[in-house]
Amino acid sequence: MSCGIYCITNCVNGSKYVGMSKDILRRWCEHVTPKYLKKNTSIARAFRKYGVAAFAWEILEECQIKELASREIFWIARMNPRYNRTSGGEGTVNHKVSKKVRMLLSVKGRQQWARMTIAQQDARIKNNLTGRKNPHSQKTKDLLRDKNLGKKHSEETKRKMSQSHKLRCERIKHEQSNNRSS
């Protein structure tokens, strides 16, 4: 087990990724698992584009666990790696998304939702409610229901729910009239 800072280098274009780990070999193995390769990180996308075999990795420095964050910050500042999204030290656990990015994601999400048909929206909602991948037990559902029983929605929330319901009804009526005329 080697605790420290590592570097992954793209042998095709020379781009780099600097990371920290309590166990570098285990971390490298995690980077190349099929589950990790599906992620939307810069390094995962590069692995998919160039293939894992196109990358080399090395240990830059071994250090104590308590020094990991500061040493990763040092190495990222020194090497300016292309695949890193942050200045380091926090991992992705405490990564804060800026207000500007959150707003952009919100707009994109609304646009994506607007392009969906009612059937696609219903399928998305059903999938989210049923928790297809991690379904809630009946006990958990009961606990959640009991916890939320008696809660009052704010006036703004009520207004938004009402507006959403009206729009949904209009879209359903519009789709039904289109289906009848076809």
> Whole-model pTM above 0.85?
no
- When divided into structural domains, the chain yields a total of 2
Question: Do residue 62 and residue 119 come from a single domain?
Answer: no
Q: 95 with 87: CB under 8 angstroms?
A: no
Question: Do residue 10 and residue 69 come from a single domain?
Answer: yes
Enter the tokens of residue 48.
């998919």
> How many CA atoms within 13 Å lie on the side-chain side of 112?
7
Question: Which of these, 101, 91, 80, lies nearest to 21 by C-alpha position?
Answer: 91
**Does 12 score more than 90 pLDDT?**
yes
Q: Where among 47, 79, 111 does a domain terminate? A: 79
Sort 71 into a burial class: Cβ within 10 Å, 0-12 / 13-18 / 19+. Answer: buried
**pLDDT tens sequence across 142-181:** 888 888 888 888 888 888 888 887 777 777 777 666 766 6
**Does 95 score more than 60 pLDDT?**
no
Res. 4 pLDDT band, cuts 50 70 90:
very high
**Does 93 score more than 50 pLDDT?**
no
